[in-house]
Amino acid sequence: MTGASRLRVWWRVLRPFTLTASIVPVIVGTAVAVPSYPFHVWRFVAMLLASMLIQSATNMFNEYYDYQRGLDDERMVGIAGTIVRDGVPPKVVLRLGFAFLAAALLLGVYLCATTSWWLALVGVLCMAVGYFYSGGPVPLAYTPFGEIAAATAMGPTIVLIAFYLQSGTVTLRALWVSIPIGLLIGAILFANNMRDMAQDAEGGRRTMVILIGRERGRVLFASVFVAAYLVVVAMVALGVLTPFALLVLLTVPTAVYVVRLYYQYTEPAKLHKAVKGTSNLLFRFGVLMVCAFLVSTLRF
C-alpha cells in the first residue's frame, strides 16, 4: 500500500463527512454569542478541535466495536468498515480513539481553566455518550435511543457550551437556536440507520427505524426536517431571531431531494448519497444560520 493509499484509509477511519455534526454546533453556538459578547478566539478554536476529536473518537469506537460484534463485513456500504476492507488492525483503531479522547480532554482542561470547572462534568458526559454509543454491554447504537442521545449530546449540549465559552452564561435564545441543529444531527444518524436497517437487524440491533418499520421511518425522517424549519420560522415570528434567519429555507430543496431518495430506494448502495446529503444539509443549514447572525450585526 502506498503512502497516499494509507492516508486515504486513515481519512476514511475519521468518516470526514460526518464531522459536520461536530463542527456546526460549535460555529452556531459561537455565532449566537458574537453579536452581544466579546469573541474569545482561542476558546472557539479549542472547542472546535475538542468537538471534532470527540466525534472522530466516536467513529473509531463504532468501527472497532461493530467489527468485534461481527456487524461489519464486506457487504457494508459507505466509508465505515476499514478494518474488514482495508486491514487496519482493530487495536490500532481502538487506541487511536482513546488518544483522540485524551487530546479532547486536554483541550477541555484549558477551557475549564479559562471559564468554569462545571464544564468538566458536561464534557465528560459528552465523551461518555461518544464511547457508550458503540461500547459497553448495551451500546446506545443497538437501542432505539441512539439518535436521541447523540443528537442531544452533539446538538443542544455543544451549542450551549460554545455559547457559554463566549458569553459566560446560557440563555433561552441559545437553547431555542440549538433545537433545529439537534434535530438535523439526529436526522443524520436516523438516515444512516435507515440505510443499514436490514444488516443491523441481522446483527441484533434494535434501532428506532427497525422497531417502527421503513414506511413509518420515512415519515418520521421527513417530519424531522419539517420540524427543524418550523422552529426557525417560529423563532423569527416571535422575534427571537431576525428575518435573516429565514436564509436557512434555501436548504429546503436539499431536504426534499434527500427524502425523495428514501421513498424511491431501499438498497443501501443507492441510499448512501442520501446519508451524505443529510450531513451536507446540516452543514449548509448551519452556515446560513451563522451568516444570519453575522449579517444581523451590521448597520445599514
pLDDT at position 203, please? 78
**Do 158 and 51 meet the contact criterion of CB atoms below 8 Å apart?**
yes
Q: Which residue has the higher pLDDT, 208 or 269?
A: 208
CATH of domain 12-296: 1.10.600
243 grid coordinates: 428575518
What is the chain's alpha carbon radius of gyration, rounded to the nearest angstrom?
A: 19
Q: 10-68 pLDDT, tens per residue?
A: 666 667 778 899 999 999 999 999 989 999 999 999 999 999 999 999 988 988 888 88
Chain Cα centroid distance, residue 248: 18
Cα separation, 4 vs 1, whole angstroms: 8
Q: Angle formed by the axes of helices 118-132 and 41-68, to 10°? A: 30
The predicted pLDDT at position 33 comes to 95
Helix H or strand E segment including 84 = helix 82-86
Q: What is the pLDDT of residues 130-165, one digit of tens each?
A: 899 988 888 998 899 989 998 998 899 999 999 999
Best CA proximity match to 34, nearest among 224, 190, 165: 165
Q: Distance between CA 120 and CA 122 in Å, rounded?
A: 6
Q: What is the pLDDT of residues 242-290, one digit of tens each?
A: 999 999 999 999 999 999 999 999 998 888 889 999 999 999 999 999 9
Closest CA to 17 of 81, 80, 96: 80
Spans of all domains in the chain: 12-296
- Give Dmax (Cα) for the chain: 60
Cβ atoms within 10 Å, residue 273: 15
Please state, as a whole number, how many other Cβ atoms lie within 10 Å of the Cβ of residue 81: 20
Distance CA 94, CA 61 (A): 6
Cα 6-8-10 angle, rounded to 5 deg: 70
What's the gap between Cα 254 and its chain centre?
A: 18
Q: Which cell numbers in the block locate residue 191?
A: 438516515
Residue 92 neighbours by CB distance under 10 Å:
14
What is the torsion angle, in degrees rounded to the nearest 10, for the CA atoms of residue 63, residue 67, residue 73 and residue 74?
A: 50
Q: What is the mean predicted confidence (pLDDT) over 173-185?
A: 96
- Quote the pLDDT of residue 300: 44
In angstroms, rounded to a whole number, what is the distance separating the alpha carbons of residues 253 and 272? 18
